[in-house]
Amino acid sequence: MTARRRVAITGIGLVTPAGLDVASTWARIKAAKGCAGPITIFDASGFSTRIAAEVKGFDDLPPLDDRKLLKYASRAHRFAIGAADQAMADAGIRPTHQDATRWGCVVGAGMMTVAHEEIAAIQRAAAPQGEFEPSAILSEPVANDVMAFSRSLSTAGVSLLLRRFGIRGYSSTVHTACASGGQAIGTALRLIRRGVADRVLTGGFDSMISPVGLSGFCLLSAVSPDNDAPERASRPFDLTRNGFVLGEGAGFLVLEEWNSAVERGATIYAELAGDGNSLSSYRITDSHPSGDGPIQAMRRAIYDAGATENDVAYLNAHGTSTPMNDRSECAAVHAVFGERAMQVGVSSTKSVTGHLIAAAGAVEAGFCALAIRDGMMPPSANLRELDPDCAVDIVRDVPRPARIGMALSNSLGFGGSNSCLAFRHPEETAALIAAGR
């Protein structure tokens, strides 16, 4: 029986509210310093929540030298291209004419829509005197701009990445809300395992910090209204938590077939060892209080990795800072790990970055790989009084030194899609291979 192909993580790229690259983002994560502040992208004065975790220094991202990319790229697309460029450079490899069909690209993308300023322009044209005039839309340049339409498609991001890197193999876009980035990476894992691709650029990107995005989350009472203390607004597992902080950004990984990565002398952060998914048929916005959906996803990821619950040292929790989500996820931790539940370090890095929606799972996958590399569990910020219903081993305020043999990352999406990824220390993988496993 042929051994299953293993998958190595050889490149990481991040553009987040915590920084425009891996080094600056990771430093702020370790410092447990929240990124939320007053919204500056648009006038949020009329909203109940007026804070978010924005990507700062957006104009400092490297300029695009491709004029066609510039025409199509939205703010969120620029995040994706910036993070993907970093991941490719970090991996030290790119598609060539000879192997481009053996590269894949799988992207978790957000709910792409026409930009707010374009909607406003159409509104002004269609209701110049306060009364709607449908025919007036046709005279507005934005309504006749094929670029504006193209930017709004959920497939635009993957198309731009394929063009930028010359990838000619399997490509796909995943949109499962907050689970998008995790499920995209899981799809990429399976592509390499099945031999469909040898290398895959994969990750997620999103920006819902807009009047349309913010208003929806405000109506759901999902975002924190702590406008006067934004740096503490995201406080997963805290008894006083009252909603998440909306964020934006992108995270990308380069995945490679393990033996190929070893042969070319690549730096391997970790093995991407397992992928688990489930669907919670409870509420659009919540998992069942028992943690049923996350339980299934976590168990499937561990099984897929050929591991047991005893192998897991660290969990990067979905941990959004909403009352129901945190409680349900902690119930899942106890159900999955049983007597070991208090021996698994748990943190939510959303306490620093905010919730990056479709990008969250990809960015947090990068954090797990970095945690394994550095032998350090990243901390949760802002936890002052632990909710008794969230009684798990939270890594608080400062990093916790630890050799992490296996880490999990949860991404639990609106609509009920649940993703869990499993990551193994490369030394553990090498030992398994040496033992013929």
Supply the residues annotated as catalytic.
178, 318, 355
Report yes or no: 361 and 181 within 8 Å, Cβ to Cβ.
yes
Q: What is the CA radius of gyration of the chain?
A: 21
**CB contact set of 137 (below 8 Å; sequence gap of 6+):** 122, 125, 126, 143
Element (H, E) at 401: strand 400-401
The neighbouring-strand residues paired with 345 are 314
What is the spatial distance between Cα 194 and Cα 198, in angstroms, rounded to a whole number? 10
Look at the chain and count its residues: 437
* Chain centre distance of CA 286: 19
Report yes or no: 275 and 190 within 8 Å, Cβ to Cβ.
yes
Burial of 101 (0-12, 13-18, 19+ CB in 10 A): middle
Find, among 390, 423, 176, the residue nearest to 278 by Cα: 176
Q: Give me the DSSP letters along 306-338.
A: T--GGG--EEE----S-HHHHHHHHHHHHHHHG
Report yes or no: 379 and 398 within 8 Å, Cβ to Cβ.
yes
Query: 10 Å Cβ neighbour count for 436?
Result: 6
What is the spatial distance between Cα 331 and Cα 324, in angstroms, rounded to a whole number? 11
Q: Give me the DSSP letters along 333-395.
A: HHHHHGGGGGGSEEE-THHHH-B-GGGHHHHHHHHHHHHHHHTEEPPBPS--SB-GGG-S-B-
For residue 251, CA distances in Å to 58, 81, 87, 184, 325 come to 15, 10, 9, 11, 23
Report yes or no: 284 and 414 within 8 Å, Cβ to Cβ.
yes
Report yes or no: 208 and 248 within 8 Å, Cβ to Cβ.
yes
What is the spatial distance between Cα 318 and Cα 299, in angstroms, rounded to a whole number? 16
Strand 345-347, strand 314-316: pairing: parallel
Find, among 375, 377, 382, the residue nearest to 397 by Cα: 382
What is the spatial distance between Cα 228 and Cα 80, in angstroms, rounded to a whole number? 31
